[in-house]
Chain A
Amino acid sequence: MTDELPRTDAAADAAGDVRPAAGQPLLRIEGVAKTFGSFRAVDGVSLDIKAGEFFALLGPSGCGKTTLLRMLAGFEAPDEGRILLGGKDIAQALPHERPINMMFQSYALFPHLSVRDNIAFGLKRAGMARADIATRVSEMVALVKLEGLEKRKPDQLSGGQRQRVALARALARRPQLLLLDEPLAALDKKLRESTQGELMELQRRLGMTFIIVTHDQEEAMTMASRIGVMKAGRLDQVASPRELYEAPRSRWIAEFVGDINLFDAEFKLRDGHRLVIGTGGAGTLVVAEPREAVGETRFSVAIRPEKVKLSRRGPVSEAGRETAINRLDGVIADICYLGGTTTYKVKLDTGGMLQASVANSARLDVDAYSLNQNVVAWFTPDDCVLLPS
């Protein structure tokens, strides 16, 4: 089911490798580190990737994600640690000895070769028969919808078409693992969104394992089944997009992924499964007890803007009365209309600033708030996340 195309990769067959079935462990990174001069670009990263996964390495620029990817491709050799692909250590193998292909951020299309020759480049090196190469190339051209452009040179293609050629060229050898270095960074927003969908579709259909490097958290959330967030050479958290967003493990991740309201907080008292905390800026809040106990008495409390509801008088329904324990009075200080949603900044009477993101569910603005209007911002204890500060 996961594998519709025949596996005839000459290079892989010659090496006699056996591909792990989907869900089986494929790649294991063990304590990998890389230092450039005195700069520790990657600092002891360990990670397991399963076959058929779409994994995203997310982080700000300079966090070491690209260096990690380049070590997987073989362009950098790790100073420490092992990289196991199907149980074999490939950490010191040269790029052409690995059943891994990479799609470059600049696409790195060979300007002197046509689209067809670009795609066939890796197949020729693998010693595939001419007829097989022709079949595979036309298969790839169809896969990325480039029919009719086979004879063009890269500089006669649009940005989106070049991106497809780069993808087809990297996929042509049927690598066990495809690495994508910021593959959509050069595309405009609309094209990027449609290409995201196509990449996901392609990955599912081929049952291939993808590792993508990106600094765009929305891109990572949309495409990947699991995300590893990197910071200063270390993997901070590896989780599904939902977990990353709703249960970030640190204050830094909470701020990096999406928008968030953060307050410094102090433990006051326990009330069953609820904790009462005092915050600087948002007064006293009641929050759900975290699954992992927060050790210290000082920490941060985080609330996503879309979890904050606004009303003119506060929640009135019975259900609302029961859950909406955290009620904060304030004044609308800033309005940012984004089309689908509106972000309000509420200046709380307790001194802090709270962001609330409200869906514009009706076309007429009967629900909209105006500047300097008195409002009540409210959210449930379960909407709050406690983070070590």
Chain B
Amino acid sequence: MRKVSRLSRFNIASLALGLAFLYLPILILVIYSFNDSRLVTVWGGWSLRWYREFFSDRAMIEAAWMSLRVAVSSATIATLLGTLAAVALSRGARFRGRTLFSGMLYAPLVMPEVITGLSLLLLFVALNAERGFWTVTFAHTTLTMCFVAVVVQSRLGSLDRSLEEAAMDLGCNPVRAFVAVTLPLIAPAIVAGWMLAFTLSLDDLVIASFTTGPGSATLPIRIYSEVRLGVKPEINAICTLVIALIAVVIVIASLASKLSSSQGESAAPL
């Protein structure tokens, strides 16, 4: 029973201003993606012309496909590694240097992307790796793994330890107890972590441009290079599609994490 309080006029005004600040540019972009005119700033009536243009633009479609593949594979690897790290940090015995380890795990959260990108580029060059799909995927995995670890670890931290003990008491060995009890309970957090990693990878420009090679541009790189030659309304259409995809993913992720936290509240009184 949450108390519904009425918003004051001041609150409404500040909310409207804040939302306008955040979403007005995006709204304009979306509206102009349906513009029939060749000039971005001149309104020429409603049309789906630029969407058709995009779907017949081979290079652009290839970049989008590349981005999707990178996002899915890096998110999957990051989720696997991040979950393992979170489990080790919150469930493992208090090993020496644990604080240092968790600090190192979270460092990429605050590391400037230019540094991450540059250091990865130097690594790939040193390893003499051919830059392309896999280098971008690995780079994005290092970027997004810590986000997954944070999400999963917070869920693990709120989980009653005695749940696993109860499972062991009732005949499970430690691995079975984890699979039968812990995994289903942290699954929503794992899903949310994957979604987060996916969107982060999808919209990353800096790290991708450091670590990608010729002929394997991701969508943000492609868009950025197009824009430098002048903004075509086609870009608006692509951006609108990306926004729609990310919005869907974020809604699913937040639903998943909401489900996750409501399940964790089973100890609360009715």
Contact = CB atoms under 8 A, between A and B. Distances in A.
A and B physically associate: yes
Interface of A: 11, 73-75, 94-96, 100-102, 104-106, 108-112, 121-122, 125-126, 153-159, 169-170, 173
Contacts of A158: 270
30 contacts: A11-B171, A73-B169, A74-B168, A75-B168, A94-B173, A96-B168, A96-B172, A102-B165, A102-B166, A102-B169, A104-B166, A105-B162, A108-B162, A108-B165, A109-B166, A110-B167, A111-B266, A112-B184, A112-B185, A121-B167, A122-B169, A125-B176, A126-B171, A154-B266, A155-B265, A155-B266, A156-B270, A157-B270, A159-B269, A173-B171
Given A74-B168, A155-B268, 15 more contacts: A74-B169, A96-B168, A96-B169, A96-B172, A102-B166, A108-B160, A109-B266, A110-B163, A111-B263, A111-B266, A121-B167, A155-B265, A155-B270, A169-B166, A170-B169
Interface string B93-122: 000000000000000000000000000000
B264 interface: yes
B172 to A, nearest CB: 6
A96 B166 CA distance: 10
B187 to A, nearest CB: 9
A109 to B, nearest CB: 7
Interface string B134-176: 0000000000000000000000000010110111111111001
Nearest to B269: A159
Nearest to B163: A108
B127 interface: no
Contacts of A106: 160, 162, 267
Interface residues of B, number: 25
Contacts of B184: 112
A133 to B, nearest CB: 13
Given A104-B162, A104-B166, A108-B165, A125 B266 contact: no
A34 B65 CA distance: 59
A111 B264 contact: yes
A288 B259 CA distance: 68
A111 B170 contact: no
A11 B171 CA distance: 9
Contact of A96 (B173, B265, B266, B270): B173
Contacts, number: 76
B181 interface: yes
Contacts of B263: 111-112, 155
Contacts of B171: 11, 96, 122, 125-126, 173
Contacts of B172: 96, 125
Contacts of B168: 74-75, 94-96
Chain B interface secondary structure, helix, strand, loop or mixed?
helix
B264 to A, nearest CB: 7
B191 to A, nearest CB: 14
A82 to B, nearest CB: 21
B161 to A, nearest CB: 9
A308 B255 CA distance: 66
A9 B150 CA distance: 43
A73 B169 CA distance: 7
Given A108-B162, A112-B185, A101 B265 contact: no
A95 B264 contact: no
B169 to A, nearest CB: 5
**Which of B162, B171, B181, B265 has the most C-beta atoms of chain A within 10 angstroms of its own C-beta?**
B171
Contacts of B181: 110
A253 to B, nearest CB: 30
Contacts of A112: 184-185, 263
A100 B169 CA distance: 8
List of 10 A-B pairs having minimum Cβ-Cβ separation, nearest first: A125-B171, A122-B170, A108-B166, A111-B266, A108-B162, A155-B266, A95-B168, A104-B162, A96-B171, A112-B184
Interface string B172-210: 110010001100110000000000000000000000000
B86 to A, nearest CB: 19
B130 to A, nearest CB: 45
B169 A111 contact: no
Contacts of B267: 106
Contact of A173 (B170, B264, B268, B269): B170
Contacts of B185: 111-112
